[in-house]
Structure 1
Amino acid sequence: MTEYQPHRLSVAPMMDWTDRHCRAFHRRFTRRALLYTEMVTTGAVLRGPRERLLRFAREEHPVALQLGGSVPAELAEAARIGRDLGFDEINLNVGCPSDRVQSGCFGAALMREPALVADCAAAMIAAAGPVPVSVKCRIGVDDQDPEVVLPEFLRRVAAAGVGRFAIHARKAWLQGLSPKENREIPPLDHDLARRMKVAFPELEIAINGGITDLDTAEAFLARGLDGVMIGRAAYHNPALLGAVDRRVFGGATPDVAAEDAVRAMLPYIEAELRNGAELPRITRHMLGAFQGRPGARAWRRMLSERAHRAGAGPELVERALAEVTGAGDQVSVGNATPDLQPR
């Protein structure tokens, strides 16, 4: 467990994106931010390829496991497994609106079932022992009134023992919108999430949704929220994480430049390839490293077109990096890479 508060800035769990290779890259930018797994269903944890789905490296700490499910006993067992594997937090997904999640009666559909969520959370807390259990939720679904639904949801789930919530400040529409549209179309209500912190000062509340830069993140923290969760912006422009340890956590370390984070990935890539990993599975998470900079297009093109070729390895990443460093940019800012030892 860490002495500081890693949830002060976290990278949101994102299906098909925040796998262990993605987390390894993000960790090269920030030692302190909380990283999340993709959502893993209880069925996959209990009956699926558990080792592959839950594998993570020591250097990823602090890292949280996000679970999807609605059966208290199954969530309890999955939480116990997460505890034993060494995750720093276990999170229950009450926000994903995909059809697959709805058919299993979990994710955002659980916003309609606060009593069930409370039962699930209580079971997880009992099983996870000292590892904290948190909930990531929406402000409501469909025709619910968030002003009524959200405070009641927080009250009932907090009564079960949950002290930490990440609130995606949008409704989810379970019918009529795709998961992508549910991340963009329902209007944001950041102020409602902020008012929940005022109404429930004893809870730790992080805000999620539409946050694209550290200026905005710092502004929310200054207004009293306990944490900020950044999703797609951190994935598509991971370099913004390079200033997190200094700006959000007050660390005395230099910011991490994208070039240095990429170089720090080279030994990881080499080791993973030796263990049978496929290069495109790693480099797909690195494509946005130089977003908006000269050479970024060449970087993306080289990795996208050549990473799948036989024999491709770290040297391809180095050649792609040369497309950026040879494009007139400053090669390094601070020349720093984060200390990857957990603290």
Structure 2
Amino acid sequence: MTTAAARRFSVAPMMDWTDRNCRLFHRALTREALLYTEMVTTGAVRFGPRERLIGFSPAEQPVAVQLGGSEPTELAEAARICEDFGYVEVNLNVGCPSDRVQDGRFGACLMAEPARVADCVAAMKAAVSVPVTVKCRIGIDDQDPEQALDALAEAVLAAGCDALIVHARKAWLKGLSPKENRDVPPLDYGRVLRLKARRPEAFIAINGGIADLDAAQALLAPRDGVALDGVMLGRAAYQNPELLLGVDPLLFGRAAPFASAKEAAESLTPAIEAHLARGGRLSNFTRHMLGLFPGKPGARAFRRHLSVEAPKAGAGVEVLRAALDLVDESGSMARASEAA
């Protein structure tokens, strides 16, 4: 499958969440979706411990790296390094509103500098052969989203940007925390559709407030002859990872990797054992699983067992197996069979 095809559904880059262990877990639930790293700065890629920061398993593919930066030459160098590591896409963050990111002159504040973003994209495109994409907001602060998003889109697309992923909210750089910026500014899906109508040839994906696969399918459906090319889920995919089991059959016409979330979790046993052998902790994996089994008998006991036992020194895969044994998936599986 091409990267563009995988981009039809992607799991958003999320700081402190979408690390390599999380991505292996998500890959057990969907073979087709495009997965993203946490954002990593150009300085970290160029001078930091690369294997720890951007290393990943081939089993995670297709996986894209998200870079934070605003200097074209530095982004080009970081992009080359990431391509050499095997990433199938390099994404530029033009959407994060945190103070730390603003102090570094990257993230959402770059919405005010479309020409600079275009220079960054052009430099990365010249440096790598994999797709270069941009994730942005519809505007910042007092910007008019109609003008701000068009200005950024026109600039980066002219520079060769392969896809634009739009978080359909403004970012308020002053007055709102990063957490509030994910909820308080109102969603405006119509603004993203208007961009797609203006640039039908461009790959335009949408992000922000998409709660489930029904909402994702609705956003991919044509409206007045306009159809978005992709959807990106963030918190919904992380907090209710079981929904990812429906991605391949519903959005790609392929069978799900496993018949149940329990089977998917159990399939990670070899990867977890290898992680433990390298000195890692069980909780490095299981913290990403706590949202499994919503509404199923035993889900609360599953979460409690993992929360208490997995962080303990010496905890092994038997802790995960014991937690999984507390969950009864039979009722939901029977209902799904009847519905089918």
TM-score > 0.5 by shorter chain: yes
Identify the residue that residue 109 of structure 2 maps to in structure 1.
109
- Comparing 147-156 with 178-187, greater Cα deviation is found at 147-156
Aligned counterpart, 1:169 = 168
1:41 partner amino acid? T
Letter in 1 for 2:280: A
C-alpha distance in 2, partners of 1:53/1:219?
36
Deviation at 1:291, TM superposition (A): 2.0
Shift of 1:281: 1.3
SS in 2 for 1:225: coil
In 2: Cα distance, 1:265 partner to 1:289 partner: 14
Output the TM-score relative to the length of structure 2. Answer: 0.94
* CA displacement at 1:325 relative to structure 2: 2.8
* Deviation beyond 6 Å, 4+ runs, structure 1: 331-334
After superposition, give the CA deviation of every residue in 1:173-211 in whole Å (9 maximum; x if it has no partner): 001111000000000000110111111111100000000
Q: Secondary structure at the match of 1:51?
A: helix
The amino acid that maps onto 1:90 is V
Give the SS at the match of 1:219.
Answer: helix
The AA in structure 1 aligned to 2:290 is L
Of the three residues 243, 246, 256, the one matched with 1:240 is 243
Task: Pick closer, same or farther for the CA change 1:320–1:151 going to 2, 3 Å.
Answer: same
1:277 aligns with 2:280: yes
Partner of 1:67: 67
Residue 16 of structure 1: aligned partner: 16
The TM-score with structure 1 as length reference comes to: 0.93
The answer as to whether partners of 1:42 and 1:78 remain within 8 angstroms in 2 is yes
Cα distance, 1:308 vs structure 2: 1.7
Paired AA for residue 64 in structure 1: A
Map 1:103-182 to 2 at 5 A. 103-128=103-128, 130-182=129-181
CA gap of 1:331–1:80, structure 2 versus 1, over 3 A, is: farther
1:290 aligns with 293
Instruction: Give the match's secondary structure for 1:28.
Output: helix
3-state DSSP class of the match of 2:210? coil
Counterpart-to-counterpart distance in 1, 2:255 and 2:235? 27
Structure 1 residue 50, shift from structure 2 partner:
1.2
The residue number in structure 2 matching 1:196 is 195
- Deviation of the 1:2 alpha carbon: 3.0
Percent of aligned pairs with the same residue? 62
* Residue type at the aligned position of 2:299: A
CA, structure 1 residues 33+21, in 2 after alignment: closer, same or farther (shift >3 Å)?
A: same
Separation in structure 1 between the aligned mates of residue 51 and residue 183 of structure 2, nearest angstrom: 34
Bigger relative CO (Cα 8 Å, ≥ 6 apart): 1
The answer to whether the aligner puts 1:310 opposite 2:309 as a matched pair is no
Gap change, CA 1:139 and 1:322, over 3 Å in 2: same
Whole-angstrom distance in 1 between the partners of 2:4 and 2:111:
31
Instruction: Label 1:99 to 1:160 Cα distance change in 2 as closer, same or farther (>3 A).
Output: same
Contact 2:29 2:257 in 1 (8 A): no
The unaligned stretches of length 5 or more in structure 2 are: none
| Paired AA for residue 200 in structure 1 | R
Cα distance change of structure 1 residues 326 and 165 upon mapping to structure 2, 3 Å threshold: closer
SS where residue 67 of structure 2 aligns? strand
- Check conservation: 1:169, 1:207, Cα contact below 8 A: yes
2:261 is aligned to 258
1:300 is the counterpart of 2:327: no
Cα distance change, pair 253–242 in 1 and its aligned pair in 2 (3 A): closer
What SS does structure 2 have at the residue aligned with 1:324?
Answer: coil
Matched, 1:320 2:323: yes
Distance change (3 Å), C-alpha of 1:219 and 1:94: same
Work out the number of aligned pairs and report it.
333
Alignment-mate amino acid for residue 133 of structure 1: V
More displaced 10-residue stretch of structure 1: 36-45 or 250-259:
250-259
Give the deviation of 1:293 after TM superposition: 1.9
Deviates more, 1:202-211 or 1:307-316: 307-316
Which amino acid counterpart does residue 154 of structure 1 have in structure 2? A
What is the deviation of 1:332?
Answer: 11
Rounded to whole Å, the distance in 2 between the matches of 1:79 and 1:326 is 43
Q: Name which of structure 1's ranges 255-264 and 277-286 shifts more when overlaid on structure 2.
A: 255-264
| Residue 338 of structure 1: aligned partner | none
Report if aligned partners of 1:65, 1:87 keep a CA contact under 8 Å in 2: yes
**CA–CA separation in structure 2 for the residues paired with 1:331 and 1:316:** 27
Runs of 5+ in structure 1 lacking a partner?
A: 335-343
Are 1:53 and 2:56 an aligned pair?
A: no
Pairwise CA distance, 1:260: 1.1
Q: Give the deviation of 1:328 after TM superposition.
A: 6.1
**Cα displacement (A) at 1:256:** 4.0
Q: Per the alignment, in what secondary structure is the counterpart of residue 165 of structure 1?
A: strand
Shift of 1:147: 0.9
Letter in 2 for 1:16: D
1:5 is paired with a residue whose SS is: helix
Superposed CA deviations along residues 133-158 of structure 1, whole A, max 9, x for unmatched, are 00000000000000111111100111
Counterpart-to-counterpart distance in 1, 2:219 and 2:150:
19
